[in-house]
Amino acid sequence: MKRMNFLRILSVLFIFSIAFTACNNDDDSKVEPNSISEYKTPKYVFFFIGDGMSTPQINVTEAALNDQDFTLKSASISSTVGIGKLNIRQFPVAGMQTTHAEDRYITCSAAAATALATGYKTTINTIAMNGERTQDFTTMAEMAKAKGMKVGIISSVSIDHATPACFYAHTPDRNNYQEIGQDLIASGFDYFAGGNVRFNKYKDYSLNNFITDATAQGYSYVNTKAGFTALNANSGRVIATLKSLETYTGDSGAMPYAIDLNAQESEDDKITLADFTEKGIELLDNENGFFMMIEGGKIDWACHANDVVSSAMDVVAFDEAIGVALAFYKEHPDETLIVVTGDHECGGLTLGFASTDYETSFDLLKHQTESYFIFTNKVKAWKQAGTKTFEQAMTEVKTSFGLGDESKGLGLSEYEESLLRSAFEKSITGQNGYSADEAYVHYGSYDPFTVTVTHILNNKAGIDWTTFQHTGTPVPVFALGQGQYEFSGYYDNTDIAKKIIEVAKYQ
């Protein structure tokens, strides 16, 4: 009804503007009205959220992987990524969103995801509640479920982490993992997949308690490749994760970084975000339609650690999951809407660095073979053993990052070597002559040696970082399918949820 009136007003304005233009030809300050407002209500909605992903993360991924020789360490990642080649490039409509929280300009994943899931601003660390934490906000996933649709929530970090939690849980603090786990079970949503729950944060509850309670509510808990492959449309409610996360040897309950995928020993740990998305379609497709939220959560974590290669590889893994939705869209173009965005930028990542002037050497990044996370675990072991010399450590750096290898164009200047030596001392002995605040500017809360290695490698490529936390940089939005044109323009993160809820008629 509202739309009809709007169209009528538009057509009146249009006739008026023709009459006006006829007698005043030099008025080109006017913007053509957007008349593309016809669309069908999408039965299938995919909402992709790249955590910590804004334009620098997307662009650096295409630039870094443009080199033909880039050795892609993940079995699942195709070698054809390069400038202009991400699936995101196929989206016909782009917009831009502001991300600020109710009480802080630079947001966190909880406040941002509350905005994206509900259409309301909230305060830092709050999960789908108002800023005062006195009232729950209904999420678009809950609305879709109430309409009889099936709902899937997928994340490469723990499934109770802030971003996924904001679609099914309501709690004053993102660290209330036990409450979030219980909300997960009570949601009745059909498919949870990716990382596990963070049961090590439970107060008086365990993973066994969680599985028992989930099973009582009709969920199957699956953590093997065979079990995952066997899942089908008749499997009922499913929680699917990776085997190693059962014993919590992983990275805070998250899936491994895409760059480390091949290094996983068990096939049970080699299920990708794209695999989880593809299975989601198989499990959720039904006559009432579905809503699926897919988060690329470790793009953010790699950016917190200022490791651009691990971030880029996770952007590719995220983009491959988008590719799965694109293939589905091609089969159901009249019934599908796909929206892709990030929740905030992370790291203050930029393309361009002081010492390289206008030049970039993104091809140097191809020599990194593992994530900062794996390398930091090695440094921790050296610290414990207490026998590793700086020279020995640099041999390992050469193997894992190429840094120090002149034949690869990665020889070190005296200045760079002094930075590495100082960081190594800090990592192994805790001493390097820096005051605490000076050390924080250099290393954040990360292992000093590892973060100095990634900084120097990134800088040599012509890339730099301003922070170990999020930034207030706006974030792009991409849309494809029914209602896609609603997503063009420059608006607030709360508007994205409002647009999806309106287009899909969730309310």
| DSSP state, residue 490 | E
Question: Which one, 278 or 300, has the nearer CB to Zn ion?
Answer: 300
| DSSP state, residue 256 | P
Q: Which of the ranges 167-175, 295-303, 324-332, 387-395 carries the binding residues for Zn ion, by CB under 5 A? A: 295-303
What is the residue type of 133? R
Q: Is 220 a catalytic residue?
A: no
Question: Which one, 173 or 213, has the nearer CB to Zn ion?
Answer: 173
Question: Which one, 166 or 501, has the nearer CB to Zn ion?
Answer: 166
- When CB distances to Zn ion are compared, the closest residue is 300
Question: Which one, 300 or 319, has the nearer CB to Zn ion?
Answer: 300
**Shortest CB 434 distance to Zn ion, Å:** 25
Query: Known binding site for Zn(2+): residues?
Result: 51, 300, 304, 343, 470
Residues in the chain: 507
Question: Which one, 183 or 300, has the nearer CB to Zn ion?
Answer: 300
> Site residues for Zn ion, window 463-492 (CB under 5 A)?
none
Q: How far apart are CA 365 and CA 459, in angstroms?
A: 10
- Residue in this structure with the two tokens 């140097």, named with its chain if needed: 364
Q: Which of the ranges 64-72, 200-208, 292-300, 492-500 carries the binding residues for Zn ion, by CB under 5 A? A: 292-300
Question: Which one, 349 or 394, has the nearer CB to Zn ion?
Answer: 349
Site string for Zn ion, 252-291 (x = CB under 5 A): ----------------------------------------
- The per-residue DSSP string of 18-53 comes to HHHHHH-TT---PPPP------PPPSEEEEEEETT-
Question: Which one, 304 or 426, has the nearer CB to Zn ion?
Answer: 304
Q: Which of the ranges 298-306, 323-331, 374-382, 488-496 carries the binding residues for Zn ion, by CB under 5 A? A: 298-306
Q: How far apart are CA 243 and CA 291, in angstroms?
A: 26
> Site residues for Zn ion, window 314-353 (CB under 5 A)?
none
**Would you say 44 and 338 are in contact if contact means Cβ atoms under 8 Å apart?**
no
Alpha helices, H only, 347-402? 372-385, 390-401
Site string for Zn ion, 375-394 (x = CB under 5 A): --------------------
**Would you say 211 and 237 are in contact if contact means Cβ atoms under 8 Å apart?**
no
In sequence order, what are the residues at sequence separation of 6 or more whose Cβ sits closer than 8 angstroms to the Cβ of residue 365? Answer: 64, 70, 308, 309, 312, 457, 458, 461
**Shortest CB 349 distance to Zn ion, Å:** 13
**Shortest CB 429 distance to Zn ion, Å:** 30
Query: Known binding site for Mg(2+): residues?
Result: 51, 161, 163, 295, 344
Query: Is 300 a binder of Zn ion (CB under 5 A)?
Result: yes
Tokens found for residue 150? 């099936």
Q: How far apart are CA 98 and CA 280, in angstroms?
A: 30
Query: Known binding site: residues?
Result: 51, 161, 163, 295, 300, 304, 343-344, 470
**Shortest CB 160 distance to Zn ion, Å:** 16
Question: Which one, 110 or 374, has the nearer CB to Zn ion?
Answer: 110
**Shortest CB 198 distance to Zn ion, Å:** 16
Question: How many other CB atoms are there within 10 angstroms of residue 223's CB atom?
Answer: 19
Q: In the beta sheet, which residues pair with residue 342?
A: 50
Q: Which of the ranges 19-27, 179-187, 297-305, 403-411 carries the binding residues for Zn ion, by CB under 5 A? A: 297-305
How distant is the alpha carbon of residue 322 from its chain centre?
12
Alpha helices, H only, 402-447? 414-429, 436-443
Q: Which of 54, 74, 109, 427 is catalytic?
A: 109
Strands 475-481 and 336-342: antiparallel
Q: How far apart are CA 62 and CA 316, in angstroms?
A: 9
Q: In the beta sheet, which residues pair with residue 254?
A: 251
SS3 56: helix
Distance from the first to the final alpha carbon of the chain: 15
| # chain residues binding Zn ion, by CB under 5 A | 1
SS3 301: helix
Q: Which of the ranges 246-254, 296-304, 353-361, 365-373 carries the binding residues for Zn ion, by CB under 5 A? A: 296-304
Burial class (CB in 10 A: 0-12, 13-18, 19+), 407: exposed
**Would you say 127 and 166 are in contact if contact means Cβ atoms under 8 Å apart?**
yes
Active-site residue set? 109
- Residue ranges binding Zn ion (CB under 5 A): 300
